[in-house]
Structure 1
């Protein structure tokens, strides 16, 4: 478990280092993933597809910037960690949005958290006593992504006392 958590952490941070940004839309472009903003999605926030040696992320065009960054990071996680599974069938669709009980979805969430949230900055701010809601506001991300990041840091040996673990379907209430 520790090895997998550290592997995801290092893989995400290597992408950030290589691309020089935590902007997931820019990262996707830098690594050759085509981004498509789709207006016809009702509940689907995003989807990753790998077909004919081309990688694509479809994003709901009605999402706010913070949600789009998070969903794009999640889909990049699928590209980095689950590309072989996406080759089978129609790609990885988020019908059960960010389901924490599904290992692939949890791993993609953890990857997104590491892409979007700088560990050193998070630790510094947490050391100043900010709570998870304040941290999410300061770091311009979803509070559940902060919790996933802190949970992952705990899995790697830190000792954060987390107020709760995000619900398995925390994005189902996102309205687009």
Structure 2
């Protein structure tokens, strides 16, 4: 299991949820929506021992949820680093910090137990990801211990 997935599993066990808004609230991370440029989904800021997640108020609710999970990833994996804006094109980035935050969000929003519920369907991991609000462009970041056993992807 990857260290990022381990981090997510520990976090969800501790807070008994995989809802990024609930985890942020429990950790005293301020989540605020603001009117941002259409190409900006959100960003994370660390200011004087305070953590802030900013989310574009103009994007769809499912994208807000993913953005919150992504920025929560920054707060957990890169807590003192102010990150660049999460933009539409950031979903395709090779930047290590952004890829790690994307991986965190995918693992948070798409727990193994939820994926395994679809093992007797013909749905692909990309289709399952969409159900849980994970952009299909990032579904390849999901890791399953026995994924070959259950899925053909």
Shorter-chain TM-score above 0.5: yes
3-state secondary structure, aligned to 1:57:
strand
> Given the alignment, which residue of 29, 47, 51 partners 1:51?
47
Which structure has more relative contact order (CA 8 Å, sep 6+)? It is 1
Report what 1:107 is aligned to.
Answer: 100
Q: Tell me the matched-pair count.
A: 149
Kindly report structure 1 stretches of 4+ aligned residues shifted beyond 4 Å. none
SS in structure 2 at match of 1:110: helix
Task: Select which of 70, 75, 79 maps to 2:66.
Answer: 70
Secondary structure in 2 aligned to 1:125?
coil
State the alpha-carbon separation in 2 of the partners of residues 78 and 49 from structure 1. Answer: 9
The change in CA–CA distance for 1:98 and 1:144 in structure 2 (over 3 A counts) is closer
Question: How high is the TM-score relative to the length of structure 1?
Answer: 0.74
Unpaired runs of 5+ residues, structure 1, are 163-176
**Cross-structure match for 2:124:** 131
Gaps of 5+ in 2: none
What is the CA distance between 1:137 and its match in structure 2? 4.2
- Find the aligned partners of 2:120 and 2:3 in 1 and give their Cα distance: 25
What is residue 92 of structure 1 aligned with on the other side? 83
Match of 1:32 in 2: 28
Shift of 1:147: 2.8
Taking structure 2 as the reference length, the TM-score comes to 0.84
Which of 16, 21, 24 is the equivalent residue of 2:17? Answer: 21
Q: Distance in 2 between matches of 1:144 and 1:99?
A: 8
Q: CA RMSD in A?
A: 2.2
TM-superposed CA distance for 1:75, in Å, is: 0.6
